[in-house]
Structure 1
């Protein structure tokens, strides 16, 4: 009996391996792609309130974090529309257009000033006269864009804080997991979900913080682009009256070297009387 060449044996072995891999491919793919319930957008139900509340809060936060980029992009798109550009324009292009529009308004005699408290708004005036319709529309659009950017930054910043708070809660639950879930049929699954929650919360917090920074920078750049740096006349420009000195208050003593004379010194007290028993020989 002749032995098959080594090359033929290797080909048969490779073919057999391919057949086995094809037969078990669905099972292997399912095992490799298996993800936690939380990573699939679901919350595990254990029947234990602290864990169920945590998993649901983590699920909701993950869902919100997936919209973080869209929220920051919406603020940028609104600025682009306010500046008369395509909503898909980049932030730098939108800011350049907003800066140019603000420069046109100032050149025509309008004064622009951003106020952030008690709420963000763009104050405008033109020498005591109201703006025309086109200029007023431009100012209102820029103001709406500023509010949108600040609102997005605030919302995403709060989302990042919630992620940090939930991570602390997750660590506390994980520390007592073995004792709390002892004998529970979902014991291992709860542990797996707690481990997955650490990854989910870290990713959600990082995404929220990153896009909150984008929205904050957009708002700041917009303020620098349109704010003239001076409040319009009649708003914060009035000088405070000099406080009146209360009646009867003492005047400050004159400084040394001034023309006013110094106050006289009080007389020295007389020497004490000599005793009656003193004898003068």
Structure 2
């Protein structure tokens, strides 16, 4: 087995975790590849054998990719993989962490489970957004969590006209609209009143942000649907954000089309009830109250 590694080198916990991973793998004589962008940004003095190489070259050679960081690290890693998807195991350092079951506390146990092939790979649906400008220039981006269209720096309400597979859905008037995957249902959409959706389901959720209407509610759609969004009134400075990491400034002449992507992210799961355990822990569910 060959294991690759990337991560968020800006976190102070990153380097000690990287050293522990390397030690565990070294004791098992596992080939370890480290993304070259880490070498450029931190000083390496890890004893033992490892190979540093370009990220995409590393992806072609390794069987599993370790991503050390928070959920944001996994989101950015999935995007960097483009369509060359391989299993990703998140090693969590940071805040909530819905996408990682491995932490510093269970690091050794988790890595040994990987080496014994005692794990599952869950397919996580991605969204593809095509942004078409007034002069017909197109940009395509992929999201694991969500695509958010909002009013940007303006304080004015934004009117967003949404169609589902050529059928008019609604014109949402408010702060914006979130289009989310099941994985993203526990992210921004949840904060805006959207439902929690099991991550292996095939669905797309449309959630209005602070709508100026008590009747505007989230709606869950089939993943086969095509969602288009346009803007019926002049508006400067509209913002489109992909997974909260890539932001594109658009205007009221921009056309947005969102579909299920043809490829999916492969996220390593170590426990059969790992997702529900994560929900209970991260949501602070208490269970039965006596």
**TM-score bucket (shorter structure):** under 0.3
Q: TM-score, normalised by structure 1?
A: 0.21
More strand by share: 2
